Amino acid sequence: MMQGERVLVTGIGMITALGLDLETNWTNIKDGRSGITNIRLFDASESQTRVAAQVPPEFEELAAGMIRKRSSDQMTRVTRMCYVCARQAVEHAGLDFSVLDRDRCAVILGVVSTGNTSAERGTTPQNRVLKSMSNAMSAWISLEYKITGPNFTLASACASSAYALGLGFDMIRTGQADIVIVGGADSIINKEEIEGFNEIYALCTDNDKPEKASRPFSKNRDGFVPGEGAGILILESATSAKKRNARVWAEIAGYALTSEAYNIMAPEKDGDGIARTIRRALQNAAVKPEDVQYINAHGTSTTLNDKYETMAIKQVFGEHAYRIPVSSSKSMIGHTIGAAGVIELGITIMAMNQGVIPPTINLDEPDPELDLDYVPNQSRPARLSCAISNSFAFGGHNAVLVVKTYAE
């Protein structure tokens, strides 16, 4: 493990189908509530998939109170989610950029799409370019706080924001920045992308009971449920956090990013690529397998991911795998695509701080092949000091983040 500045999390922002702020999200997640409903963002009556985890409609009222109308008109709905979420995270961290060296601050976001799709409203020739810019989300945040350090976006499909967290970690660890605003936002809830994912048999098509549609690790799982949302973490060097007496929510101990180079859609057979990533992350964090007390799984509710992720966990942890609680937040908030990594790491950090492991809901019919402790249907109390969060993606992109409680 490379030595350098310790990397701390001092602020969290979160917007999902379960709430427009961190506190509401956490309450609903620990209570095992589902945010999945019938699709309302477009007419899905002819679609194979007619359910999704959509951000509450009250979001637009919240955004209107935080964003000037001219700027809002130049943003997509997804960009507005990211902007509002960043404002929440900055406030949560108690940051005052007027007294900080803005050259030593950065913005890094994982973005698959800006959301300028057929479901977007108000696109005109005058704002089409601004709405479509892949760097728009990070640019708006940089403009808001006059951040003059690096400001960019990256894309690695469903691992995008996890990749962004890894790069933010490196910037602080190597002394290139004191504070990095890291995260992402995404939505694939539009006619074309739903149809596309249906064509490759990736989505759930069980529409009768929306709240039961996402069933990670269940025998009767039949695909992921599309979600949407935004997540932002404030990463900060220990030196900076101590100087301003900031509250520390967790320490990012290390991470790993790998490419399977196996198949454009399917994970490597038997979970070998996933296992390799987990091992590298633990090595990077100087954490022993037996020290891991919780895994926030990628857990998509697809046949292959849940099978191979389980196999990978067994490969890495051996008998200890059966003693580690593993749960999937996607059972409640759907798959938020590029935003999934940061949202799920935020949930992991809240679990560590609140002493509660969130459940995998809808696990009513266990798959006999998948025999780990998936925290079925109910959260449970636990004292956690070390956890990992997994994110995997089409294209063979794997990311694993390791977090610990912080002790000086």
Which position among 82, 204, 298, 397 bears the catalytic label?
A: 298
Which of 112, 117, 151 lies closest to 134, judged by CA? Answer: 112
First to last CA, the chain: 18
Six-digit token pair at 135? 């760097």
Which of 280, 293, 96, 120 lies closest to 193, judged by CA? Answer: 120
CB neighbour list of residue 262: distance below 8 Å, 6 or more residues apart: 268, 269, 273, 396
**Residue 95 to residue 11: CA distance in whole angstroms:** 9
Which position among 105, 335, 386, 397 bears the catalytic label?
A: 335
Has 320 been annotated as catalytic? no
Cα dihedral value 68, 72, 77, 80, nearest 10: -50
The alpha-helical segments, DSSP class H, found in 259-375 are 272-285, 303-317, 330-333, 340-354
**Residue 155 to residue 164: CA distance in whole angstroms:** 9
Which of 251, 219, 224, 220 lies closest to 235, judged by CA? Answer: 251
Contact 153, 138 (CB under 8 A): yes
CB neighbour list of residue 209: distance below 8 Å, 6 or more residues apart: none
Which position among 85, 158, 204, 386 bears the catalytic label?
A: 158
Number of H helices, E strands in the chain: 13, 14
Has 298 been annotated as catalytic? yes
- Cβ neighbours, 10 Å, residue 60: 14
**Residue 51 to residue 53: CA distance in whole angstroms:** 7
Has 158 been annotated as catalytic? yes
DSSP assignment, residue 301?
Answer: S
Residues forming the active site? 158, 298, 335
